[in-house]
Amino acid sequence: MISGSRLERVLASGNFAVTSELGPPKSASAKGVTKHAAMLKDCSDGQNLTDNQTAIVRLSSIAAAVHVLAAGGDPIIQMTCRDRNRIALQSDLLGAASLGVKTVLCLTGDHQSFGNHGTAKNVFDLDSIQLIAAVKGLRDDKRFLCGEECKVEPKLFIGCAENPFADPFEFRVMRLEKKARAGADFVQTQAVFDVPRFAQWMEGVRSAGLHKRIHILGGVIPVKSAAALKYMATVPGMRIPAQLVKRMEGAADPEQEGVALCVEIIQQLRQIEGVAGVHIMAVYWETIVPEIVARAGLLPRP
Amino acid sequence: MIVGERKPVESILAMLAPHGKVLLAGCGTCVTVCLAGGEKEVGVLAAALRLARQAEGKPLEVVEATIERQCEHEFVEELAAKLAGAEAILSLGCGAGVQTIAERYADLPVYPGLNTSFIGIPVKHGDWAERCAACGDCILDSTGGICPIARCSKSLLNGPCGGSAEGKCEVSEDTDCAWQLIFDRLKAQRRLELLAEVRPPKDWSRHRDGGPRRIVREDAAL
């Protein structure tokens, strides 16, 4: 064990992993984080804390992680390259580890034009792959990016994201390979709605032997309505099959249909060779996660 | 070339409000080619300023002068002959031009009439696009001649982010994804192995981040 994190233990033992996501609030109150952490800790092996997702200012992911730890959860801090240079990123890695965080997810970050501070200056001093390498260098070589020694290294389990549905499709396996080579231990994918397309990407992943080098968690999002699904179809890099929209439109109880769809996708992902777990992104609907995990037959957690 | 865009006339009028006579200086190089600050644009702006000030009952005398290059002292010197009585200079040059004039005629207020936008090219008539970020450490050899620093919204060095869709950038559907372009070109050249390499963090000290830049060459000194 490198980090001793619960997610690392579950994946190392060969169990099908479940992670969840928790969006920190646009306020200085930790109440919601604490409440949701208590709900998610028994049905997921790690809880992602988003880092100013879609470039909207929120309570910091590292601070939120401390509240999750206090609630008995297993925080996965998301860290984007948008807002911090290599000095601040490395500083926050040390800080997070000192506070008990054991897992980090390295991301490039949504462009600030999507958020509520569109006139901000972005940073992107590093990209996500360089950030992965920076965490690995600190952890395994005890070296900062500049080469200087870090006496007490942050023992972090290193995650990354990949979008199998983005273009160029042919490059997506190569990109994951680069992330594995840079030092990522696990990957959480963009939400899967188009399972055949995901399976096609997984074929490429397997033929490159990547499923043996990096733990792959397929992303899923439970949707509450056809409108939500239609909106997602407009997000660059998302693929939503038209028949799923029709199915949601025809549902008598869209919320229950959304849960059923999510559970089905989890079960389909579980059948794909090389998929080591799922990542459930139910932001603004955290309360539904225990039900989804139970109905997918993934309780109790190991 | 350096591509610029003229500021709105209202902004320029606000800058010139305290003055009764100004020299309006055009530049015959980059901003002439991008139709923002050459002799023709000087004429158009001068007429608009005179008309607007006439209508306000506070006439403005505008002397027009377009020189070869505002970013070189030897050309900027030529403006001296036209400065008699001018209370200020309005430059339609790029930021380098404005500052060269301001340095030479330090007693006068010098105003920028353009917003200097980027180093780029005309992709078609009336459409200019950024191509170079002047980062000080060119990597075009390994990216198929397409710059990800200038043309990727996040200046990524290791391939496209998850927001690349159908060849377009997540930031705007009017923007090509630079990494899709790089991928396509290197694939066509059978050089995709260049993209497999994990590129280390960039040395940004050679960009603006290292402080104002300067190149000193003894071989070129007089």
pLDDT in tens, B102-137: 999 999 999 999 999 999 999 999 999 999 999 999
Asked whether residue A236 carries a pLDDT value surpassing 80, the answer given is no
Chain A residue numbers touching B177 (CB-CB < 8 A): 167
Nearest by CB to B165, from A114, A134, A236: name it. A236
Hey, is the C-beta of A86 within 8 angstroms of any chain B C-beta?
A: yes
How high is the pLDDT of residue A31? 97
Q: How many angstroms separate the Cα of A111 from the Cα of each of A192, B123, B159?
A: 22, 25, 16
Write the pLDDT tens digit of every residue in A100-147: 999 999 999 999 999 999 999 999 999 999 999 999 999 999 999 999
Among residues A64, A63, A101, A60, which one has the least CA distance to residue A84?
A: A60
Query: Which of A90, A167, A174 is most worth mutating to test chain B (most B CB atoms within 10 A of its CB)?
Result: A167
pLDDT at B222: 84
pLDDT of residue B99: 98
Q: Check: CB of residue A255 under 8 Å from CB of residue A285.
A: no
A124 touches chain B (CB under 8 A): yes
Q: For residue A124, which residues of chain B lie inside 8 Å, CB to CB? A: 154-156
Distance CA A210, CA A160 (A): 14
Dmax (CA) of chain B = 68
Q: What pLDDT, in 10s, does the model give residues A3-54? A: 999 999 999 999 999 999 999 999 999 999 999 999 999 999 999 999 999 9
- Which of A124, A166, A175 has its CB closest to that of B155? A124
Confidence of residue A283 (pLDDT cuts 50, 70, 90): confident
- Mutation choice for A interface testing from B161, B181, B187, B199 by most A CBs within 10 A: B161
**Token digits of residue B199:** 């590129």
Chain A residues with CB under 8 Å of B150 CB are none
d(CA A213, CA A207): 12
DSSP-H helix ranges across B56-94 = 73-76
DSSP notation for B143-158: TTT--HHHHSTT--SS
* Per-chain mean pLDDT for chain B: 97
What burial class does residue A284 get, using C-beta atoms within 10 Å of its C-beta: 0-12 exposed, 13-18 middle, 19+ buried? exposed
Say if A153 is an interface residue toward chain B (CB within 8 Å): no
Q: B-chain residues within 8 Å CB-CB of A109?
A: 154
How do strand B114-124 and strand B2-6 relate by DSSP bridges? antiparallel
What residues of B are in contact with residue A168 (Cβ under 8 Å)? 160, 164, 179-180, 183-184
Q: Output the pLDDT for position A237.
A: 80
B154 and A237 in contact by Cβ < 8 A? no
Q: Pseudo-torsion of CA A140, A143, A144, A149, nearest 10°? A: 140
Closest partner CB to B198 (pick from A114, A122, A133): A133
Residue B150, min C-alpha distance to chain A (Å): 13
DSSP classification of residue B61: E
The pair of structure tokens assigned to A119 is: 């006139």
Please indicate whether, in this complex, the C-beta atoms of B159 and A130 are within 8 angstroms of each other.
no
Cβ of B183 within 8 Å of Cβ of A178? The answer is: no
Mutate to test the interface with B, among A131, A175, A194 (most CBs of B within 10 A): A175
Distances from the Cα of B102 to the Cα of B77, B110, B198, angstroms = 12, 6, 45
Nearest-by-CA chain B residue for A164: B162
Q: Of B140, B146, B131, B130, give the one whose Cα is nearest residue B184.
A: B146
Confidence of residue A235 (pLDDT cuts 50, 70, 90): confident
Length of chain B: 222
